C-alpha cells in the first residue's frame, strides 16, 4: 500500500476496545475538517466531517471532536473491529480555498 | 454505489515522457480534484476544477501539469515531461458542492524510471 509506515505513528488496540486517534492542525483559518480512512492500495475513504461551528459530531460507531482553542481534532471509534485496521488521516480545509490539507496519518492495528 | 474510477491503475514511463491519467468522476458531481501521494508520505493537493476551469492549484502543480475535462464524463491529468520525483500515487476525487464529502478513486500509480 501507499502508507508503508516509514514514520507513521501506530495505534494498536484489541478488537472490541475503543480507539482514539488524534490530530493537530495548523491553520487557524480552517473551518472544515474531515477524517479519512485509507486501506492498503486504495484511495482515501470519507469517514466523518465537522465544521468549525461545532465541537462534536457523531456517526455510526465514530465520533469526531474538535477543539479550536488548541487546534486539535480527534476520531473516536467505538468497539473497534479488524476491518477498521487502516491508516487514518485528518484533513482540514479553509473554505476560502477549496483544497484539503492532509495530516501525516496514524496507522490503526486491530488485534483479534 | 457510484464511484470514481481511474485508469490506468499502474503506469511505468521513462523520464521525459508525457503521461495522461484518466478519471471518471461520479456523474452528478461538479467539483473535481487531483491529489497525489508519494510513497510513505501524506496525500497532497494538486488542483481543483469547477465549471470547466481550474479554481485552485498548489505549488506542486507547475507548468508541466495540466487538467482537462474533454467531454461530459472524463477528467484527465497530463504531465508533459515526467521527472523521477513525479513517481507517486495520483488520486482523482469529486464532490457535489464547494464543501463537503469528497469521493476518491482507487488511484493511478505512476512510476518514472
Query: No. of H helices and E strands in chain B?
Result: 0, 11
Chain A residues with CB-CB distance to B31 below 8 A = 98
Cell of B68: 482537462
Instruction: Report the chain A residue with the minimal C-alpha distance to residue B50.
Output: A98
Query: Residue A6 — pLDDT band, cuts 50, 70, 90?
Result: very low
Determine the distance in angstroms separating the CA of A49 from the nearest CA of chain B, rounded to an integer: 8
Cell of A53: 461551528
d(CA B103, CA A45): 7
In the predicted structure, residue B44 carries a pLDDT above the cut 80: yes
Across A4-28, average pLDDT: 85
Query: Of A7-11, A73-77, B14-18, where does mean pLDDT reach its minimum?
Result: A7-11
In the predicted structure, residue A91 carries a pLDDT above the cut 50: yes
Residue A14 near residue A111 (C-beta atoms within 8 A) = yes
Instruction: Report the chain B residue with the minimal C-alpha distance to residue A8.
Output: B40
Query: Residue B19 — pLDDT band, cuts 50, 70, 90?
Result: very high
Closest residue by Cα to residue B89 from B104, B75, B103, B101: B104
Say yes or no for a CB contact (<8 Å) between B98 and A102: no
d(CA B7, CA B24): 9
**pLDDT value for A7:** 63
d(CA A63, CA A47): 10
Per-residue pLDDT tens over the stretch B66-107: 999 988 789 999 999 999 999 999 999 999 876 778 899 999
Bigger pLDDT: A26 vs B112:
B112
Determine the distance in angstroms separating the CA of B45 from the nearest CA of chain A, rounded to an integer: 6
Query: Of A56-65, A68-77, B89-98, where does mean pLDDT reach its minimum?
Result: B89-98
Across A64-86, average pLDDT: 96
Burial class (CB in 10 A: 0-12, 13-18, 19+), B94: buried
d(CA B53, CA B24): 17
Across A61-84, average pLDDT: 96
Residue A111 near residue A15 (C-beta atoms within 8 A) = yes
Indicate the residue of B33, B35, B39 with minimum beta-carbon distance to A4: B39
d(CA A69, CA B13): 47
Query: Residue A28 — pLDDT band, cuts 50, 70, 90?
Result: confident
Amino acid at each position: 500500500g501507499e502508507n508503508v509506515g516509514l514514520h507513521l505513528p501506530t495505534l494498536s488496540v484489541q478488537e472490541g476496545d475503543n480507539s482514539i486517534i488524534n490530530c493537530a492542525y495548523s491553520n487557524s483559518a480552517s473551518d472544515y475538517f474531515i477524517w479519512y480512512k485509507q486501506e492498503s492500495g486504495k484511495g482515501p475513504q470519507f469517514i466523518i466531517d465537522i465544521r468549525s461551528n461545532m465541537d462534536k459530531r457523531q456517526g455510526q460507531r465514530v465520533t469526531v471532536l474538535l477543539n479550536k482553542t488548541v487546534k486539535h481534532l480527534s476520531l473516536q471509534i467505538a468497539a473497534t473491529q479488524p476491518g477498521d485496521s487502516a491508516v487514518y488521516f485528518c484533513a482540514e480545509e479553509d473554505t476560502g480555498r477549496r483544497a484539503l490539507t492532509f495530516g501525516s496519518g496514524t496507522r490503526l492495528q486491530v488485534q483479534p | 454505489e457510484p464511484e470514481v474510477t481511474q485508469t490506468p491503475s499502474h503506469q511505468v514511463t521513462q523520464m521525459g515522457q508525457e503521461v495522461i491519467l484518466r478519471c471518471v468522476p461520479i456523474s452528478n458531481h461538479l467539483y473535481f480534484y487531483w491529489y497525489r501521494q508519494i510513497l510513505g508520505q501524506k496525500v497532497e493537493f494538486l488542483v481543483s476544477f469547477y465549471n470547466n476551469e481550474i479554481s485552485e492549484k498548489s505549488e506542486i502543480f507547475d507548468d508541466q501539469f495540466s487538467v482537462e475535462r474533454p467531454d461530459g464524463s472524463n477528467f484527465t491529468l497530463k504531465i508533459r515531461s515526467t521527472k523521477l520525483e513525479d513517481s507517486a500515487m495520483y488520486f482523482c476525487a469529486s464532490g457535489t458542492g464547494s464543501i463537503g464529502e469528497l469521493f476518491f478513486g482507487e488511484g493511478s500509480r505512476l512510476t518514472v524510471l
